[in-house]
Amino acid sequence: MTLNQPPLRLLIVEDQVDLAENLFEFLGEDRYILDFAADGLTALHLLGTQSYDVVVLDLMLPGVNGYDICRRIRQDLQCQTPIILMTALSALNDKEKGFDCGADDYLVKPFELRELQLRIEALHRRYSPQRPVLAAGDIRFDPGTLEVELRGSKTVLSGTPARLFELLVRAYPSFLSHEALSDVLWGARHGETEGNSLRTHIYTLRKSLQAGLGSSLVKTIHGRGYRLEAPEKENTDTP
């Protein structure tokens, strides 16, 4: 690893604990920050609340299979993080289905762990320069660094508030409903508890933005949801 090279955040989605442990042991902690999900719904929750550089996704998962999870990552979460599918399914039509679902790479089991590492690094090199800075009026948000900028002032978000902010930036100038935000963060079966949690995360997001930028930016659309709204520019013209 090159000196001062930032670590990569990886999400490993694999229901075989022994294989997941082998991956964790091989990849280590010097170059990578590793998270683990044993099923697809847990993976969707993590992707809805955290930012990753690469996702390694097994196809044969309990409950919802990897194809559907890959599709939901792309369509429901609007998440473009590179995805490597790993599976024992080696037929061409299986690979075609995987790429049609939005995967960036496809690795057939059994494989050398070093090959997976090389593919992770190659995907990251191709993807990382292409992460666009998102704009919503005068608001700028970098999904890679989680930095928000408003007319020269900057602050950095983290966790669920950062994910909420990214969703609101992508939706701008439209609003997002309470249900839509909760669906992305907790899945379609969210309930009253998650609704209260959403309000808490919105409060935390506003507090962070107010402290860092001097404006909370998130406007409540009463009875409907939330949207971004930058404060009006101050008039600097002399009378």
Q: Which portions of the chain are predicted below pLDDT 50?
A: 1-4, 236, 238-239
pLDDT at 6: 63
Please give the pLDDT value at position 55: 95
Residue written as token pair 């429901």? 76
Q: CA nearest 76: which of 48, 35, 103, 99?
A: 48
Do residues 82 and 104 touch, judged by C-beta distance below 8 A? yes
In Å, what is the CA distance from 35 to each residue of 20, 23, 57, 118, 153?
Answer: 10, 11, 12, 19, 32
At residue 1, the pLDDT reads: 38
> What is the C-alpha separation between 91 and 108, in angstroms, rounded?
10
β-partners of residue 219 are 227
The per-residue pLDDT for 234 is 66
pLDDT at 190: 52
At 174 the pLDDT is 92
H/E run at residue 180: helix 178-186
User: Can you tell me the distance from the alpha carbon of 12 to that of 66, in angstroms, rounded to the nearest whole number?
Assistant: 12
The confidence score (pLDDT) of residue 160 equals 85
In the prediction, which pLDDT does 195 show?
58
Two structure tokens written together for 20: 């997941």
Phi then psi dihedrals of residue 172, to 5 deg: -55, 140
The crossing angle, in degrees rounded to 10, of helices 17-27 and 113-127 is: 70
Q: In terms of DSSP bridges, do strands 8-13 and 32-37 run parallel, antiparallel, or are they unpaired? A: parallel
pLDDT at 220: 95
- Alpha-carbon distance 226 to 205, whole Å? 12
Write out the two tokens for 172: 């701008």
Can you give the pLDDT at residue 131?
60
Residues 6+ apart with CB under 8 A from 220: 226
